[in-house]
Amino acid sequence: MNQEQRPAILLLADGTILHGFAFGKIGTTSGEICFNTGMTGYQEVFTDPSYAGQIIIMNNVHIGNYGVKSSDIESNSIKIKGLIGRNLEEQYSRYLAEASLQQYLEQNGIVAIEGVDTRALVTHIRTKGAMNCVISSEITDLNELKKVLDACVDMNGLELASTVSTTEIYEMGNPETASCKIAVIDYGVKHHILKNLEQRGAYLKIFPAKTPIATIQEMKPDGYFLSNGPGDPAAMPYAVETVKALLTENKPLFGICLGHQLLALANGIPTFKMHHGHRGLNHPVKNVITGKSEITTQNHGFGVEPNAVKAHPDIEITHINLNDESIEGIRLKNKPAFSVQYHPESTPGPHDSRYLFDDFIALVQQHKN
């Protein structure tokens, strides 16, 4: 325990109250509560832009035991709003680590609570569904905490992608030696997604979420990539219009997570708020084209409407979640465009799905020739 076992409170929107101890920054924070079942990779999780606006329960009993390292990041800062753990460790054992979890959270201004029965709390969220919550290590008055909670914005209908997207266009790779040029629309892209594309010989130009279509097209790319990101995809009409315009070019297009949902919306497929979402490193997905299964890394609270996908004449389902049969992948029958709901870069997680980057680059090369 830290902060001399300073008490902290967790209040959920359904009235559930849990008591624990302060960790990270002393303060108050609110957001949508969700949980991640991964046993490792907590730093990558905390810096994933798709978690913007959310307070995360790390279900593993010990978090922080291998410290933090500057290379183990997916963006330039922590993106979660707060952290809930059973044992959040200040002591760490990895000799390559540069700081403790306590130092890392303090430096990034993240309020956390430990000493909570996270497995019971996860069971509660799985039963009751995602909801807003507030953590405080400075306010003990429940009426005051309820006021903070009442002011917390609902994730349904919330546009967050533009708040975590790059503010300036930047590049990765060598345009002189690259085998292809990819325009990346950044809705909250993870660093390792970009690295996976660059490692396969692509030159990347990364554009802010609300970049005008004409500016993107000036690059004359060989293909387009739609990134992951936070928030409600249905609250992003600007992005849906961009995707519709890109599809008219008939160039290869690949979307991941939020990018998958935007591709669906651009083809008239509605999205919906899931009961509690998919977040973790062990979600089984079946590739219905090859018949093979993959263990996947996931982080999403919205999904695409299954019945609408199945009824669409120009869309083929490529991947299905083996836990709940939700749609995990689609491709267009009449255009070189496909997407998956999960994270094939899988940092952290198993690398079963990295073949999708190979498939995308091969599709780009095929349409170049």
What are the catalytic residues? 257, 343, 345
Contact between residue 57 and residue 122 where contact means Cβ atoms under 8 Å apart: yes
Contact between residue 6 and residue 137 where contact means Cβ atoms under 8 Å apart: yes
List the Cα angle 45/357/183 in 5-degree steps: 90
Supply φ then ψ for residue 40, to 5 degrees.
-135, 180
Taking only Cα atoms into account, the Rg of the chain, rounded to an integer number of angstroms, comes to: 21
For 192, the enclosing helix (H) or strand (E) is helix 191-199
The SS3 of residue 263 is helix
Strands 7-12 and 17-24: antiparallel
Rounded CA separation 59/119 (Å):
6
| Closest to 256 in 3D by CA, of 171, 319, 338, 162 | 338
Strand order through the sheet with 253-256: 170-172, 202-207, 180-185, 223-226, 253-256, 337-340, 327-332, 315-321, 271-287, 293-304
